Amino acid sequence: MHDFLLDAAGRRRVHFGGNPRRGTSALNLGVVASLVLAFSGGADASPTTYTVVIEQMRFNPPALTVRRGDHVTWVNKDLFPHTASASSKAFDSRSIAPDAAWTYVAGQPGTYPYRCDLHPAMAGILTVR
Ligand SMILES: [Cu+2]
């Protein structure tokens, strides 16, 4: 009984002595494969850049739907500054000077009404899917 247990333990020790290296290598290969898959998947779903033109006191388009990770660029074509400021504070361009632009990378999915802090009548909606 005692000898049997020692033998069993000895065999297990041999197995554990030999396998960890193989196990580690296999794990590393798996991680590398996962990273490669993640990168190729990321290439397929590469971010899209959308432009919202601010002109004549309006956001155009006033409503825009994007995917998480997409870029939204507000371009100010007016002769005075504007902002794109989410009511929820999820994003806030601060002052965008004439002919300047500001880009937001869409984050948490949701519906984000926004306004120009300087001209509260100017309103838009960004939806992130
Ligand atoms: Cu404004």
Mean pLDDT value across residues 57-71: 98
pLDDT band at 45 (very low <50, low <70, confident <90, very high): confident
| Whole-prediction pTM | 0.67
Distance 108 CA to ligand 1 centre (A): 25
Predicted confidence (pLDDT) at residue 83 exceeds the cutoff of 50: yes
Rg of the chain in Å (alpha carbons) = 28
Rounded distance from Cα 57 to ligand 1 centre (Å)? 6
How many angstroms separate the alpha carbon of residue 122 from the centre of ligand 1?
Answer: 6
**C-alpha 56 – ligand 1 centre gap (Å):** 9
DSSP state of 96: B
